[in-house]
Amino acid sequence: MRFITLFIFLTSFGFSQTDTLPYVQVLGIAQDGGYPHFGCEKQCCKMVWKDTNLKKFIVALAIVDPKAKKWWLMEATPDIKEQVEYFKTLSGGKYNYLPDGIFITHAHIGHYAGLINLGREVMNANNIPVYVMPKMKEFIEKNGPWSQLVKLENIKLVELKEYLPVKLSDQITITSMLVPHRDEFSETVGFRIATTVKSYLFIPDIDKWEKWKRAIIKEVEKVDIAFLDATFNDINELKNRKMSEVPHPFIEETINLFKTASDQTKAKIHFIHFNHTNSVMWNKDEKMKVGNKKFKVSIQGAIY
């Protein structure tokens, strides 16, 4: 597909720089429903139904350690089949086909539903480590069909503790941080990814920045790159739903919050987790407006 070829080209320089150094690669930038969205007949999706090369996968990251010859998947999305194959293509098949572990932020379908593909009906995986918080762990253990993955040892649940770093290799550690979100079935976390080269913040879902016990500006200042929730652009985006039912920080709110921050801090922010209605994902002019304000839009397939 054209977009795979494009990103192989875009990241070819990156690979020459990362023969042994760890890196993060974006495997998806869309909200839980993906892009195009199920049932969407608006122009934003019509063009993608006609040209599937424009498709964007649901939000996910690959955390890669070339020296250890291992990679980890952040989020198990409904697009996991395509995303694992996508990573294989982008990395030239250098790594195990299935990830050496999977990190889950929370129990909304776009972030964990892909786990079902590790079961005996599909991959019949063998004890893939799945890193989750306590409530998420209990949810998987006590509810089918997820519990069968544990029972048949397709996955091995590894319980995370907030702020306790998990060492994945000599070059990579992951730390979880609770964030406020619609926690119907589990808690929700963001992750801080620390490598020997760069540090990253990954918060694809949060209700509002002001509800968090931590100051987002300070958290962004601590890292090199921050992948932040950009589900909606503004309050007028959904015409047929109450925005309060699906709270997220609007892009315009995040930009306004960082208006007094330095340009260097703003440039660390890469917006991600776009709803299909969010024109920043698919409209060049809207992307340019974000860029003109010193912020960035995450690119599917790109190395960071």
pLDDT tens, position by position, 202-212:
999 999 999 99
pLDDT of residue 220: 99
Kindly state the tokens that stand for 208: 């509002």
Residue 236 near residue 212 (C-beta atoms within 8 A): no
pLDDT of residue 204: 98
Q: What is the mean pLDDT of residues 35-39?
A: 95
Please check whether residue 68 lies inside any domain of the structure.
yes
**Which residue, 34, 15, 184, 164, is CA-closest to 90?**
15
Q: What is the mean pLDDT of residues 46-71?
A: 96
Q: What is the mean pLDDT of residues 61-67?
A: 98
80 phi and psi angles, rounded to 5 deg: -55, -35
Please check whether residue 253 lies inside any domain of the structure.
yes
Q: Does the pLDDT at position 7 exceed 70?
A: no
* Residue 238 pLDDT class (50, 70, 90 cuts): confident
Residue 122 near residue 193 (C-beta atoms within 8 A): no
**Per the omega criterion (within 30 degrees of 0), is the bond before 249 cis?**
no
71 phi and psi angles, rounded to 5 deg: -145, 150
Please check whether residue 303 lies inside any domain of the structure.
no
Please check whether residue 186 lies inside any domain of the structure.
yes
Please check whether residue 205 lies inside any domain of the structure.
yes
* Residue 8 pLDDT class (50, 70, 90 cuts): very low
Q: Does the pLDDT at position 290 exceed 70?
A: yes
Show the domain range for 18. Answer: 2-297
Residue 30 near residue 49 (C-beta atoms within 8 A): no
d(CA 214, CA 223): 14
Q: Kindly report the CATH number assigned to the domain that includes residue 180.
A: 3.60.15.10
Range of lowest pLDDT (17-26, 180-189, 237-246): 237-246
pLDDT of residue 9: 43
Please check whether residue 304 lies inside any domain of the structure.
no
Please check whether residue 302 lies inside any domain of the structure.
no
d(CA 103, CA 288): 32
Planar angle of CA 298, 115, 189, nearest 5 degrees: 55
Mean pLDDT of the chain: 93
In which element (H, E) is residue 252 found? helix 251-257
Q: Does the pLDDT at position 86 exceed 70?
A: yes
Q: What is the mean pLDDT of residues 165-183?
A: 97
Q: What is the mean pLDDT of residues 44-70?
A: 96
Number of domains in the chain: 1
* Residue 155 pLDDT class (50, 70, 90 cuts): very high
pLDDT of residue 49: 95
DSSP symbols for 56-83: BPBSEEEEEETTTTEEEEE---TTHHHH
In which element (H, E) is residue 226 found? strand 225-229
pLDDT tens, position by position, 97-151:
999 999 999 999 999 999 999 999 999 999 999 999 999 999 999 999 999 999 9
In which element (H, E) is residue 200 found? strand 199-203
- 């006590």: which residue's tokens? 142
Predicted model pTM: 0.92
Using CA atoms, how far residue 216 sits from 174, 201, 261, in Å, is 18, 10, 11
Q: What is the mean pLDDT of residues 166-179?
A: 99
**Which residue, 289, 195, 182, 261, is CA-closest to 229?**
182
pLDDT of residue 24: 99
* Residue 10 pLDDT class (50, 70, 90 cuts): very low
